[in-house]
A = this chain, B = another copy of it.
Amino acid sequence: MSRFSRDRQRLTADPGEKNRRPLRLYVEAPLAVGSAVALDQAQAHYLTNVMRRRVGDPVALFNGIDGEWFARIGDIRPGRGGMLEVESRARPQIAEPDIWLMMAPVKRVPIDLITVKATELGASLLWPVITQHAVVQRVNLRRMRANAVEAAEQCRRLSVPACRSPTALAEALEGWPAERILLVCDERGGNEMIHQVLTRSKAESWAIMVGPEGGFTDEEFALLRGLPQCRFAGLGPRILRAETAAIAALACWQSIHGDWRENPPPSKS
């Protein structure tokens, strides 16, 4: 399931796809009528050699700030670079749900999966948290970011989730924002169902935390219980893998507190 390269888009690069919907690209440049966006060597290679685009072909751009824009390829030289001409705004930027996902680092395949699926499910921040039973200590943040960008391009999201460096649990809880509920997925049993926890609060800012496969230590549970914003929730009788728990909890949150009353944008945009 490596999404580090653009395999997924490559797989869908058939002529029908090309005609149906303009390619979406995340860029860091400001977007406005008439502005030009420079393409680096890798982007020019991707657009020409992988996606078979040429001068004049449409591309949709977003930067997480200015909404989504129609643009066209103004100049492109494989192996060198190129330029996109920004034409008009397709969609304004909108406020997005304020939901963080905090997870113990896991191996490469599940962390890739969590990154991609959490992006599709609208997480605003991906934040690895180091716990005492963590099997994995390191996270390749560059890879995480690349996966998040690609998933955001694919799912037509207007932003890319922020990716924060791994932080020790105690440090992550220090100075925890007063208004942000921390929902901890906990398989020890005796907790309320996630649906009850979610429906009881009208808070707008939340974080979902999924622990390591070995669970939290007693000391860590004490730390979490000490945080007034912390709520524990169970996810049923089956032992979910960390990535399943993360995806499931995010879906439950979105269905109640998120933007799921919105519809996908028309496919022409």
Stretch from A27-35, A59-67, A186-194 at the B interface? A186-194
- A39 at interface by CB-CB < 8 Å: no
A154: interface (CB < 8 Å):
yes
A265 within 8 A of B: yes
Chain A residues with a Cβ closer than 8 Å to the other chain, count: 45
Chain A 125-147 interface 0/1 with B at a Cβ cutoff of 8 Å (1 = within): 00000000000000000000000
How many Å from the CB of A216 to the closest CB on chain B? 14
Copies of this protein chain in the complex: 2
Q: Which residues of chain B have C-beta atoms less than 8 A from A122's C-beta?
A: 236, 238
**Binary interface encoding of chain A residues 186-228 relative to chain B, with 1 for a CB under 8 A from any of its CBs, else 0:** 0111110111000000000000000000000000000000000
Select the stretch in A48-56, A162-170, A176-184, A243-251 that faces chain B. Answer: A243-251
Question: What residues on B are CB-neighbors of A1 within 8 Å?
Answer: 1, 109, 113
A-B pairs with lowest CB-CB distance, top 8: A189-B263, A248-B251, A236-B260, A237-B262, A155-B238, A195-B255, A251-B251, A252-B255
